[in-house]
Every structure is written in C-alpha cells, then in structure tokens.
Amino acid sequence: MFLSGDDTVLWVLRSDTGDEPNTWAFPGGGVEVGESAEEAAIRESFEECGFRGNVNLRLIDVQVYPDFKYYTFLGVVDSEFEPTLNDEHTDWQWLPAGEFPADIHPGIQQLQNKVEDLGIAA
C-alpha cells in the first residue's frame, strides 16, 4: 500500500481478471523464485501501477497459509503520483488516510484493525 507525504493512500479497483473483482485493494502480488519480499513489492508496484520512484518500504503484516505467505508493506512516497494501471485493475483513487472506499477486498478488511493501530489509513 502506498502512503503519500500528503497523508493519502492509493487504492486500486480489482478487474474481472483476478480474485474478488470490483473490490478496492492495494497493489501487490506474489514473490517470484529468487526474489525477496521487498523486491517483489517493488516489482509489483511497477507492474500494476507503473511506479518507479523512491519508496520507503515498511513491513506491516505477514499472513501465513499452507502454500504461501502474504506480505503487506507500507510504501511511503513523497507525494501522490498518477498510476499507469495494468489489466489487473480498472480504476484508482487517492483517499485521505483513515478513509476507506466502499467494497474493499476481504484481505484488506482483515488488515483494517492492524493498519488503524499503526495510525495510518489502510
């Protein structure tokens, strides 16, 4: 998830090509062989949003499942940017920290309390 220096959070709307279509989520994806979780977060940010700027990554959650681990990073950026979306998303919006869109992805709902405990939006 991206948090800008303006205290806004980037949300992306899931397309019909993946799980939980038409729900709002954060950019992200799987870790490839030979890649660290941090490297995957940076790669996925580029693939899904076209982002290649400076980002300060902070690990905020790890979910462990039988066949994979799901890492959630807070990516702090200087300011909002205009994403260039791939086919996994159909829309985007920056919302003030603490404001959640309607229809958020179930995985984000699970993180909502943890994220609020950190004093950030989502």
Q: pTM of the entire structure? A: 0.87
pLDDT at 114 over 70: no
C-alpha span between 58 and 11 (Å, rounded) = 18
What are 25-39's pLDDT values in tens digits?
999 888 999 999 999
Distances (CA, A) of 42 to 7, 26, 70, 72, 114: 20, 13, 15, 12, 22
The rounded distance, in Å, linking the Cα atoms of 60 and 73 is 6
Token representation of residue 56: 């300060």
* E strand or H helix that includes residue 110: helix 106-117
> Closest Cα partner for 97 from 83, 82, 76?
76
CA distance 5 to 107: 25
pLDDT in tens, 87-104: 999 999 999 988 889 999
| Comparison of pLDDT for 102 and 120, the residue scoring more | 102
What does the pLDDT read at residue 122? 43
All structural domains of the chain with their residue ranges: 2-117
Across 8-32, average pLDDT: 92
Q: Report the topology of domain 2-117.
A: Nucleoside Triphosphate Pyrophosphohydrolase (3.90.79)
Q: What is the pLDDT of residue 113?
A: 65
Alpha-carbon distance of 6 to 83, in angstroms, equals 16
